[in-house]
Structure 1
Amino acid sequence: MSLADLAPFADLGTLAEITPCGFSLMRNGYSVSVEIENDGYSIVTSEGRQRCSGSAAVLASPIFADLARIAQNQAVLLSQQRMKGPPVPISIKIDQVAGAVPAFKAEQEPWKGLDCWLRGMQASQKLEGTDLLLIEGPAGVGKTTIVRETALLRAETFDGSTSLILQIISRGRVLQNIGDLIAFTLQDVRSNLTINQLKSLIRHGLITLAIDGFDELSDPNGFKTAWSGLNSLIEDVRGAATFLLAGRETFVSTEMMLRQLTSFKTEHDRLATLSLNDPQPEDARQWLLDKEGWDYSVLNGEFVEPIFVKGSYALRPFFLDVIAREPEALKDDTPPASDLLSYLVDIMIHREGSKFLAELDPPNREMATALYEEFVGRFLEEVARDLAENQSESIAEDALELLATVAAEGLLPDDQIAAVAHRAHTVVFLAKDLRAGHVRFAHEQLLQHFLARETLRSVGDGETPRYVRRNLFGREALEVFGHVARGKAELASQFLREVRAAIAKPSRDRTNTNLAVLGIAAACATAPDDANLLIQGISVNELYFPFAAPDGITIRDTMISILYAGSADLRHVKFESGTFISTLEINEQTQLPLPMPKYIKPQTLVRREGTTTDPREIQSFFEAYNPADADDGLAWQPEVAELLGRIERYRTFWLGTNLDDTDALGRRIISHQDWPKVYAALQDLDLVTVKSRQVSGTRPVFIHFRQDVSFSSNVELFHKLAS
């Protein structure tokens, strides 16, 4: 133990000092001595002497950090979100990156496996070594849940032999540095610890710091602030520190970590990755069969069975959890006309509307059902807006009745408003929050969905909400917004008109930045003949294209921190002078403009093969860039390649083959000149599921494309279309 470990615990205006016997300081107004003994330490106060086996025990004691009390508070706090029932059987793999690490033992409850692995790491940690575990995986796979459940397990069994896990998350706040996150998280567990005191605990292996959503800690300079903060923190706590960093698998790569972590010492430190992936389709189906109301007749339903294939969003634990509650609704013979999240939300809203119908028993039941469903949607949009404007993930239950009243006025009869407002807090979309007397959306994806609906409506009506002026819209929010806009084409078109007018005027806040990225998502979703969207003179944090970009998007004099172009078709986007891209993320399906404009060449290139910042390597990639080469060397005809690209981006949805049964993006597929021969080839190779449904004497045909196969890389498909 050093003076630096104890100094942060000294009262304000006083100093910890070295004495002949050890150390002395003023703590909470009382004199405290820490005496060094042959087999440990003694803490001496006016009330007596307390023996401690080591320096960690001194810091953990009630006189200093009082970790036992923090563990009790954390257990109470986290137990409110305890996982109930068997978890979704996700795929888990540990990879050793730098330094020897223990094997990971698979458990039915993966947090028990993580707890056991961390114990092994603690036992084998080198002197002055720092251990880092990157927990990676796609959104909704369960990164936050596994860290939270491991933290709860440690808190409930805390005896001082292992560290507590402090999980820091933004909880809706717009933050750009780790220190702010730590401060808010310490408040959540009712701890009086300061950040400097926490550093002493991390240094001695008493606290493991888990940074959840590290990839979201960005600023206009990309991740510069976040990496700088992490490097400083690692240097400050070198001793026996352990960090967990959770983030998307494509961006917080091990290559980037080793490059950015200048504080990483290869002779002492260790780095490993814990990769979380969706469960295998059969495992997911079996998990659902154990749920009430599920059997093979539901799983093998005409329009349900094709969504449980490798690569489908339906395999994400979040979606499986929602799907598990809706077996009756999924027996419907109507194909999902929207993305999976919007489809499930519509089912849940219909169910909530039926509850109001049964309770209030209005005279015109058919009309009332539609009004109740609209009310539920409007109410949840108001909740999402309130959370966004207050940069919070939870809201006081007392406030729900007021928001429900606002949503119901002008929509429902006056004599029903009080009744629906009173029971609004019971809707299935909301859940109890960690904070007493507060509720939150059951999952962040639901919050993003209703916020997207609210944004479409309010901006389309000519309003600029406060959250649009000051918040940040990241990739996940933009992805959800694009899907919502796709299902609400008329609202999206009106939204685009307002965006064009708004971004033509100067803005001193984040209005133009947010409207620009939202406008691009809306334009991609509605596929207008000419988006007529000029993005100019702004700095963009994250730019995401959810679908193929239509004609008419021009980007000029704009700084883009991160451009997510995975599976995106950007051939019609015009990147003009003054445009700078810091980081570009692409994959095999990405279609970039040809010839390549110099403005699109980034400082950092993220691909499946890895992440690079080497200017020569990036230059070589773009000099050799040819979309045909990315498809295993298959020389597709340009028209066919374009159609396959449209199909690849449509695979989440059911495609109606009648023009009246599909959306704008679907019409661009079935009206393509090569659609008949491509469709025939896909059928012959069993790459599509074809279903029909009886409607008013006709049987429209609906198609679901295989999600576990890349069409543009399929050699059999290439030869069949070439013959």
Structure 2
Amino acid sequence: MVDAEGYADTWSVLRDFLNEIESGGPIILAGRDTFFDLTKFSERLHDLSAKVDIKHASLSPISPATAKTWLTQIGWSAEELNSSEANELLKPDSYVLRPYFLSTIAPLGGVNSVLGDLVSPRDFLVKSFLQREAKLITQRVNMDEPTAAKLLWELFELVALEMAEAETESVDLPFLQLAVDLTFERALKDPSDLAKLRHKAGSFALMDVDTRQGFRRFPHTEISNHFLASALFKEVLSGKVPRFLRRGYFGTDLLLIAGEQMLDLPTEIFNDLRSKLITLMRNDAGAERLSDNVTSLLVTSAIVDSSDELLIERANAGDVVLFGTTGSARMVEVGINRLDCRGANLSAITFDQCSASVLVVDEQTLIGATRPAVGSLMVETAGKTAVLYNPEEINDWVSAHQTHRDESQAENEATRLLEKVARVFLRQFFIKSDPFDPAGRYLSEDLWPAIEEKLAHEGRLRRTDRKDASGKRGEFIHIINPGALLERASEEDRRIWGSVAELAQ
């Protein structure tokens, strides 16, 4: 139902199926709340809607209390789980509360063990798996851990791209063994070592047993998308146009990860990637979804604060994900199917005769002086989503989020810097104090030390010395409750913004 080209056929098949049932029976359809809309669903059933009794149930997000109870039951210290660090890590709507992440960190035994390596939760998961598997490989063959980890990354890129292009969520063991040969053969001179890895292919940590015998799959779609996004960038940068880019469906899950990886690219490589995507968009050879997919990636690339303004004209995009504080962009006559800008500041984007069939927002969303025409608005609040269709209601909500709620807070260089840093913390737990880190460069700006002092004085910032994912020690900062800070709901939040604004006067 998310494939635009098969959308009408899918609804037709569902209506036929319901007609054929006649005497009735329970039917369960499962999907994400952000995709399912009860009103639209009923409309799509046409005359059948009067014959079908529809019940809409939504799974509640895991609460911090539920997570703490479960972690205590498996051996985590109750005292540690009641610490301020644990409360911040397991705050409502946190990525860490997702079942897969909780089950993965559970064996670490405590909050401090998690915080010792945690910057971005997804990176933490992937790198933890890779490091563990690389260590196991070096116990079997003559290879150092960094090389093993690098080749494993390339292996999983190859597997993820194959799955995407074959439109499947698993691969058989013969393919996995062939991928091992292609990836590791250049680094292993002893054929017996390659045979050992080929034999181990079915038990790699990032390859779970599939329901089909002899097949393997990634343990979670976020893991497969992590490698798929990386593989797509490498293909485009090398001048190739992979089949998945021409024909696949780029959903928001993949685009979110692609955007995060764009932020990690060195400036020169990012500019090369964007240039090649622009060329592909302008020279569309008529491939089924190439133009839509490329435009989706290009619009999503606006999350990178590049020195060059991004210009996109007369194009259509499927899904788009924007977060953080976007760079400068101008979009002219661009149609977007679904624009997810939860937690994003879009004030640097100019929308000229643009449209978004669906705009997904939350209370942290900030829109600039111009905006796209919106078909429907999905507003997420405390893990629940409300859908607005009335043009007046949509206009009221968007207008209220085109400027800060508190007009007395003057915007200047200092407040803009604080906002950029606070929005980073909507997606990750720490920022490394390193000018070469994508977010760490904000901490190198002249105004930051004074801003940090204000936040620390109010008890809203912690600086700590810890290891990063590569094992190197460094200084990291963490802002406490950045969402509330951005919303400026409390007197304390407004006082912080006021004192920060004075720094640039």
Aligned match of 1:500: 278
Matched, 1:219 2:1: no
Report matched runs for 1:380-459 at 5 Å. 380-415=156-191, 416-459=193-236
Counting only pairs closer than 5 Å after superposition, residues 556-595 of structure 1 correspond to structure 2 as 556-577=332-353, 579-594=354-369
1 CA distance for matches of 2:114 and 2:145? 18
Cα deviation for residue 303 of structure 1 reads 7.8
1:691 and 2:450 correspond: no
| 2:365–2:401 contact (8 Å) kept in structure 1 | no
Distance 1:432 1:538, change over 3 A: same
Report 1:72-471 matches (<5 A): 176=1, 217-219=2-4, 230=14, 233-234=17-18, 237=21, 239-257=23-41, 262-263=46-47, 270-291=53-74, 295=77, 306-327=88-109, 331=113, 334-337=116-119, 339-360=120-141, 362=142, 368-415=144-191, 416-471=193-248
Q: Is the Cα contact below 8 Å between 2:455 and 2:496 reproduced in 1?
A: no
Q: 1:464 to 1:705 in 2, by over 3 A?
A: farther
> Whose helix proportion is higher, 1 or 2?
2
User: What's the offset of the Cα at 1:512?
Assistant: 3.0
Q: Is the 8 A contact 1:284 1:315 kept in 2?
A: yes
* Structure 1 range deviating more: 298-307 or 386-395: 298-307
| Aligned-partner SS, 1:538 | strand
In the TM superposition, what whole-angstrom CA distance separates every residue of 1:658-697 from its partner, at most 9, and x where no partner exists?
Answer: 343x623342366274x45543443344333432249999
- Listed one character per residue, the Cα deviations across residues 62-85 of structure 1 (whole Å, up to 9, x for unaligned) are xxxxxxxxxxxxxxxxxxxxxxxx
Look up the equivalent residue of 1:446 and give its one-letter code: I
1:515 aligned partner, one-letter code: V
Q: CA deviation at 1:476?
A: 0.6
- Provide the secondary structure at the position in 2 that maps to 1:592: coil
Question: Is the Cα contact below 8 Å between 1:634 and 1:718 reproduced in 2?
Answer: no
SS in 1 for 2:378: strand
After TM superposition, the structure 1 stretch with the greater mean CA deviation from structure 2, 326-335 or 613-622, is 326-335
Residues 523-571 of structure 1, C-alpha deviations (whole Å, 9 max, x = no match): 52x43222x44334433221111433211x3333433211112222222
The TM-score with structure 2 as length reference comes to: 0.83
User: How far, CA to CA, are the matches of 1:634 and 1:250 in structure 2?
Assistant: 32
> Could you tell me which residue of structure 2 aligns to residue 706 of structure 1?
481
Q: Note the 1:610-625 alignment, pairs <5 A.
A: 610-619=386-395, 621=397, 624-625=399-400
Offset, 1:358: 1.3
- What secondary structure, in the 3-state scheme, does the structure 2 residue paired with 1:589 have? coil
Q: Deviations over 1:56-103 (max 9, x none)?
A: xxxxxxxxxxxxxxxxxxxxxxxxxxxxxxxxxxxxxxxxxxxxxxxx
Q: Deviations over 1:31-77 (max 9, x none)?
A: xxxxxxxxxxxxxxxxxxxxxxxxxxxxxxxxxxxxxxxxxxxxxxx
Structure 2 distance, partners of 1:694, 1:445, is: 25
For residue 385 of structure 1, report the CA deviation from its aligned partner.
1.1
Q: 2-side partners of 1:707 and 1:720: how far apart?
A: 12
- Following TM superposition, by how much is the alpha carbon of 1:436 offset from its aligned partner in structure 2, in angstroms? 1.6
Q: Distance in 2 between matches of 1:472 and 1:496?
A: 20
- Structure 1 residue 621, shift from structure 2 partner: 4.9
Contact 2:140 2:196 in 1 (8 A): no
Q: SS state of the match for residue 275, structure 1?
A: coil
- 1:289 CA displacement: 3.9
2:503 is matched with none
**SS state of the match for residue 56, structure 2?**
strand
Deviations 1:347-399 (Å, cap 9, x if unpaired)?
A: 11011010011122x3xx6xx11111112111111111111111111111111
Return the alpha-carbon distance in structure 1 between the equivalents of residues 358 and 87 of structure 2. Answer: 38
Deviation string for 1:254-288 (max 9, x for gaps)? 4544565544767x754443232332224323423
Q: Does 1:520 align with 2:303?
A: no
Partner SS, residue 348 of structure 1: helix
Residues 583, 605 of structure 1: 8 Å contact kept: yes
Secondary structure at the counterpart of residue 378 of structure 1: helix
**SS of the residue 1:278 aligns to:** coil
Larger radius of gyration: 1
- What residue number does 1:668 align with? 442
**Cα–Cα, structure 1 residues 588 and 699, in superposed 2: closer, same or farther, change >3 Å?**
closer
Match of 1:164 in 2: none
Paired AA for residue 244 in structure 1: I
C-alpha distance in 1 between matches for 2:266 and 2:128: 20
Q: 1:401, 1:421 within 8 Å by CA — same for their partners in 2?
A: yes
Secondary structure (helix, strand or coil) at the match of 2:296 reads helix
Give the conservation status (yes or no) of the 8 Å contact 1:547–1:649.
Answer: yes
User: Offset of 1:307 from its aligned partner?
Assistant: 2.3
CA distance in structure 1 between the aligned counterparts of 2:322 and 2:472, rounded to whole angstroms: 39
Amino acid at match of 2:32: R
Query: What is the TM-score when the length of structure 1 is the normalising length?
Result: 0.60
User: Secondary structure of 2:27's match?
Assistant: strand
Stretch of structure 1 that moved more, 243-252 or 463-472: 243-252
TM-fit CA distance, 1:317: 0.4
CA contact (8 A) 1:567 1:588 kept: yes
Inter-CA distance 264–305: structure 2 relative to 1 (3 Å threshold): same
The one-letter amino acid of 1:280's match is: S
Cα offset, 1:414, TM superposition: 4.9
Closer/same/farther in 2, CA of residues 386 and 299 from structure 1, 3 Å limit: farther
Residue aligned with 1:240, SS: coil
Q: Does 1:649 align with 2:434?
A: no
Structure 2 residue identity aligned to 1:343 = F
Residues 374 and 485 from structure 1, CA distance in 2 versus in 1: closer, same or farther, beyond 3 angstroms? Answer: same
Closer/same/farther in 2, CA of residues 286 and 536 from structure 1, 3 Å limit = same
In 1, Cα distance between equivalents of 2:137 and 2:473 = 35
Deviation of 1:505 after TM superposition, in Å, equals 1.8
Q: Report the Cα distance in structure 2 between the residues aligned to 1:426 and 1:650, rounded to whole angstroms.
A: 36
Q: 1:250–1:687: structure 2 CA closer, same or farther, 3 Å change rule?
A: farther
Q: Give the letter aligned to residue 352 of structure 1.
A: E
The question of whether the paired residues in 2 share the 8 Å contact of 1:322 and 1:344 is answered with: yes
Residue 692 of structure 1: SS of its match in structure 2? strand
Contact 1:220 1:561 in 2 (8 A): no
Q: Residue 374 of structure 2: SS of its match in structure 1?
A: coil
Match of 2:348, SS state, is coil
1:219·1:225 contact (CA, 8 Å) conserved in 2? no
Asked if 2 retains the 8 angstrom alpha-carbon contact of 1:681 and 1:721, the reply is no
Query: Closer, same or farther in 2 for the Cα pair 1:719/1:236, shift >3 Å?
Result: farther
Report the RMSD for the aligned CA atoms in angstroms: 3.6
Give the secondary-structure state (helix, strand or coil) at the position aligned to 1:554: strand
Q: CA deviation at 1:252?
A: 2.2
Contiguous gaps of at least 5 residues in structure 2: 500-505
Give the distance between the partners of 1:342 and 1:571, measured in 2 at CA. 28
Unpaired segments of 5 or more residues in structure 1? 1-175, 177-216
Residue 70 of structure 1 corresponds to none
Percent identical residues: 21
CA distance in 2, matches of 1:488, 1:345: 18
